[in-house]
């Protein structure tokens, strides 16, 4: 009997490609809209950030295509070296004179044409490492506490480096992603409960050492109590969202982006989107992200059914990473979570995040391709 060949149109996951392109294009439109005022003020060029974002997307798509060509087994062999490279970068970035400080945080390497944020590739490196660990130590992970504690010890070291920057948003995303991957790998629930207790005590200790963190964590609960200082960003974001109502004020007609809301093209892009496109635009974007995460988990389940466990864990990790970061970014804009420096994946302005997020999509497409090739072989 002749071997079946996969149809040419289903070599890759077309729904994932289309939904991702929709988010990229919508994000590019919003970057152009939200950055006009600040770009004109800083560079006398209203499309300065727009053209840079176009360049980032082009570079990101090139890396995506490259990621789609590399077999997953190669990534499994280099996951540990890449993890140490990522940790070394996190260590370098907090050294004065090497790292670039912005708004009191040392998170970037300034290379002139682009600022590289090591915490972004670290998310992917950690997913690759944990996926390999779960394959090598599957029985230990499911049956003993040491199997759970070993990866968490490594995550604790990495999050310690992130807190030196400080980058609380990346810390939460990294912790949440790894915990989710371990849970899906079959770690007993009691170990999660014990770890949550440990983390809770650690957070309380951090608050006692630095009381200003308590104010930052609680100011989002009533930003109107100090609308011109600690609650300023959130107040402006909520005003933007409230002005949007059902269908928005129209593309480019936002008032809050006119120097009222800081970081409108990065951390608070979602608030301006809500102002200009209203509840309709918000639900559309949320729906696209939900579909993206759904496709990631569908690809993971399909890979698992074909015995591709390493690929499945990578897909689970990427789906969790997208879901957690998107939820936190939107939650901050809506006043449901404390303010953190987290961009909206595939939409907010930024080179490092755009490249890494697109590479993650490349991994999902590669996993889907290898699973289909195995099915039809």
| 17-55 pLDDT, tens digit each | 999 999 999 999 999 999 999 999 999 999 999 999 999
Backbone angles phi, psi at 295, to 5 degrees: -65, -40
Query: Strand, helix or coil at 356?
Result: helix
Q: What percent of the chain has pLDDT over 90?
A: 62
pLDDT tens, residue by residue, 326-372:
999 999 999 888 877 789 999 999 999 999 999 999 999 999 999 98
* Residues ≥6 apart with Cβ < 8 Å to 310: 72, 76, 131, 132, 135
Give the CA distances from residue 285 to residues 63, 78, 249, 256, 277, in Å, rounded to whole numbers and listed in that order. Answer: 24, 35, 17, 20, 10
pLDDT at 5: 43
CA gap 248, 279 in Å, rounded = 7
Asked if residue 365 lies in contact with residue 12, where contact means CB atoms within 8 angstroms, the answer is yes
Q: Residue 135 and residue 153: Cα distance in Å, rounded? A: 18
Q: What is the pLDDT of residue 9?
A: 42
pLDDT band at 232 (very low <50, low <70, confident <90, very high): confident
Of residues 141 and 136, which shows the higher confidence score? 136
pLDDT tens for residues 82-101? 999 999 999 999 898 888 87
Residues 261 and 339: beta-carbon distance below 8 Å:
no
């Amino acid at each position: 009997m002749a071997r079946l060949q996969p149809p040419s149109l289903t070599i890759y996951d077309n729904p994932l490609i289309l939904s991702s392109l929709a988010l990229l294009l919508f994000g590019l439109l919003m970057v152009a809209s939200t950055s006009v005022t600040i770009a004109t003020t800083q560079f006398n060029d209203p499309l300065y950030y727009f053209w840079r974002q176009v360049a980032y997307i082009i570079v990101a798509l090139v890396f995506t295509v490259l990621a789609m060509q590399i077999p997953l087994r190669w990534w499994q062999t280099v996951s540990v070296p890449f993890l140490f490279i990522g940790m070394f970068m996190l260590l370098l970035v907090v050294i004065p004179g090497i790292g670039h400080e912005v708004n009191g945080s040392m998170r970037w390497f300034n290379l002139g044409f682009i600022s590289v944020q090591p915490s972004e590739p670290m998310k992917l490196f950690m997913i690759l490492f944990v996926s390999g660990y779960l394959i090598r130590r599957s029985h230990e992970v499911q049956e003993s506490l040491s199997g759970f504690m070993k990866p968490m010890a490594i995550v604790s070291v990495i999050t310690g480096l992130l807190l030196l920057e400080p980058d609380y948003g990346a810390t939460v995303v990294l912790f949440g992603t790894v915990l989710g991957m371990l849970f899906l790998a079959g770690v007993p629930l009691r170990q999660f409960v014990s770890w949550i207790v440990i983390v809770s005590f650690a957070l309380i200790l951090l608050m006692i050492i630095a009381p200003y963190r308590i104010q930052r964590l609680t100011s989002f609960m009533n930003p109107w109590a100090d609308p011109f200082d600690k609650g300023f960003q959130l107040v402006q974001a909520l005003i933007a969202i409230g002005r949007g109502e059902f269908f928005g004020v129209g593309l480019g007609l936002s008032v809050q982006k006119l120097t009222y809301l800081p970081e409108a093209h990065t951390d608070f892009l979602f608030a301006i989107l809500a102002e200009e496109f209203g509840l309709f635009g918000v639900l559309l974007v949320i729906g696209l992200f939900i579909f993206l995460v759904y496709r990631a988990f569908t690809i993971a389940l399909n890979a698992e059914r074909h015995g591709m466990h390493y690929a499945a864990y990578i897909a689970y990790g990427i789906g969790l990473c997208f879901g957690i970061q998107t939820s936190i970014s939107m939650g901050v804009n809506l006043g449901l979570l404390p303010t953190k420096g987290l961009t909206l994946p595939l939409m907010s302005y930024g080179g490092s995040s755009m490249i890494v997020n697109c590479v993650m999509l490349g991994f999902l497409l590669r996993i889907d391709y290898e699973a289909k090739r195995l099915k039809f072989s």
